[in-house]
Amino acid sequence: MRLIHKIGLTVSLGAALATGAAVAQQQQFINILTGGQSGVYYPMGVALSQIYAKTIPNVRATAQVTKASAENLNLLQAGRGELALALGDAVSNAWKGEAEAGFPKKLDKLRGLSGTYNNYIQIVANADSGIKTLADLKGKRISVGAAKSGTELNARAIFKAAGIAYSDLSKVEYLPFGESVELMKNRQLDATLQSAGLGVSSIRDLATSVQIVVIPVPADVIAKVGDDAYQVSVIPANTYTGQTADVATAAIPNFLVTHSGVSDEVAYEMAKQMYENIDTLYAAHNAAKVIKRENAIKGMPVPLHPGAAKYYKEVGLLK
């Protein structure tokens, strides 16, 4: 009887270990690549990680601070993340393999998950700098975002269309949003270009500390960029303290991108749970409140992930 009991215990223990190993194998990691903590990508990434950790079984989800679009896309290609936020023009350049944009080779593993919200080119100057137009930036000190980031690529495109070279500026800094604002507060910079959702915390912080001027980007300049991702838009009046009128600018869509190495099941759940828990995203940042499922696949610069496509077929967005 004792031998039978021992055999029973051994079998039970072996089964338990096997079950434990299976559960461990099933655990999925969803690392969400975002941007700087003072931008919009980061709070959105945190909100998505909370949604996924709560709703997808055996998932451990995290949000990683990065230099945003270009770095995010390169990390996805290398399999060092499962989901990323990135600007539409950067995604398009990565898919084509545009070396000047920081993508010497085509990032062929990228797959689309969903459209999100628009970034707005927001060029903000200290009111006492005398800057009122794009032309006035010549000879001034400006931060254009982290080098090769989506923001910096936007800066290059807008300045080129406006006939401004970096060499026309007295000083160019390649800094994240928060650091750019601190230098402006200390009068070490005259202006900052930030490509972000409306009401981005860095510019809100700046506007409450110093008097600002939001510099318009005219429609004719946007047309000269020659990229359909750049759309004529406005920064509505009173988006920031002291900004009392609408300001013309360019808007560029943001996308959630994954890669071909992510399983269909995980990609399906990432798309589904994002939209079934969209209020969590809305609460994360005002910019997210324009995200609608009916716009999820519009203008996607890369092929949809099959798992995401399955979800959009279920809800009638795809046939």
pLDDT at 177 over 70: yes
Tell whether 147 and 173 lie within a shared domain: yes
Burial of residue 183 (number of CB atoms within 10 Å: 0-12, 13-18, 19+):
middle
- Give me the residue label for tokens 């749970």: 273
| pTM for this entry | 0.85
pLDDT tens digit string along 226-271? 998 999 999 999 999 999 999 999 999 999 999 999 999 999 999 9
Same-domain pairing of 189 and 304: no
Q: How many domains does the chain have?
A: 2
28/22 Cα distance (integer angstroms)? 12
Domain boundary among 252, 283, 304: 252
> Would you say residue 79 has pLDDT above 50?
yes
In a domain, 193, yes or no: yes
Token look-up 């200290």 returns: 126
Does the structure show a pLDDT above 50 at 118? yes
Both 136 and 100 in one domain: the answer is: no
| Amino acid 20: pLDDT | 42
| Letter string b/e over residues 4-40, b meaning 16 or more CB atoms within 10 A of that residue's CB | eeeeeeeeeeeeeeeeeeeeeeeebebbbbbbbbbbb
Same domain flag for 216 and 258 = no
Kindly state whether residues 174 and 233 are assigned to the same domain. yes
Q: For 282-294, how does the pLDDT look when each residue is reduced to its tens digit (9 = 90+)?
A: 999 999 999 999 9
- 127 shares a domain with 234: yes
Looking at the structure, tell me whether residues 275 and 289 fall in a common domain.
Answer: yes
Q: Based on the domain organization, do 41 and 143 belong to the same domain?
A: no
* Cα dihedral across residues 201, 257, 28, 273: positive or negative: positive
Is there a single domain that holds both residue 246 and residue 186? yes
In a domain, 1, yes or no: no
User: Does residue 12 form part of some domain?
Assistant: no
Per-residue pLDDT, 92: 95
pLDDT at residue 25 in the model: 54
> Hey, CA dihedral for 160, 104, 297, 292, is it positive or negative?
negative
162 and 99 within one domain: no
**142 and 168: one domain?**
yes
Q: What is the pLDDT of residue 149?
A: 85
Question: In this structure, what CATH number is given to the domain that contains residue 77?
Answer: 3.40.190.10
In a domain, 212, yes or no: yes
Last residue of a domain, one of 252, 275, 299: 252
Q: Please give the radius of gyration of the chain, using alpha carbons only, rounded to the nearest integer.
A: 23
Q: Is 214 found in the same domain as 98? A: no
Q: For residue 275, what are the domain limits?
A: 27-116+254-314
- Residue 3 domain flag: no
